[in-house]
Every structure is written in structure tokens, then in C-alpha cells.
Amino acid sequence: MSGFYKSAATEGIKEHSYVLTPGRYVGAEAEEDDGIPFDEKMARLSSRLREQFAESPKLQKQIKKNLGTLVPEV
């Protein structure tokens, strides 16, 4: 099953300079480079995560309210 597992022989591992990154052995496809520099992408993703963390309490409150209409607290 491609992308799931592989029993690699020592010779095959040696050919990869003893690097054990699974993608080298299980046939996982390489991701295309989107051309966005790492620092820029990391800053954007971190900012988005902070926004989502800030929204989390509001969403939790709404979820609890919705659940309360379905299943009253005991």
C-alpha cells in the first residue's frame, strides 16, 4: 500500500544517506513549492491561528448553548 508503510532494507536506507524520513520510503508524493518564503508563510499562519484562538471561547459558548437546547444539563 503506497504511502502507508514499507520494510526497507539496510542498503536502501544507505542509499538515502541513512535518513529515515518516511516519505523517502513509502511513496508519498512530494508537495509542490508554492513559492511563498517560509518566514512569510509562518507569520501568516501564526496570525491566523491567534485569531482562531481568540474566537475559540465565543464558539465554545455557542456550542454549549446549542447543545443545551438538544440535551439539557443534568
- 17 vs 24: CA distance, rounded Å: 11
3-state DSSP: the chain helix, strand, coil percent, rounded to 5?
A: 60, 0, 40
pTM reported for the whole predicted model? 0.50
Return the pLDDT at 22: 78
In one letter, which amino acid is 44? R
Residues of the chain with pLDDT > 70: what percent? 89
Task: Count Cβ atoms below 10 Å from residue 7 Cβ, excluding itself.
Answer: 6
Residue 74 has pLDDT above 60, yes or no: no
pLDDT at 50: 98
Cα R_g (the chain), whole angstroms: 22
Cell numbers representing residue 25 in the block: 520510503
User: pLDDT digits over 33-69, tens only?
Assistant: 899 999 999 999 999 999 999 999 999 999 999 998 8
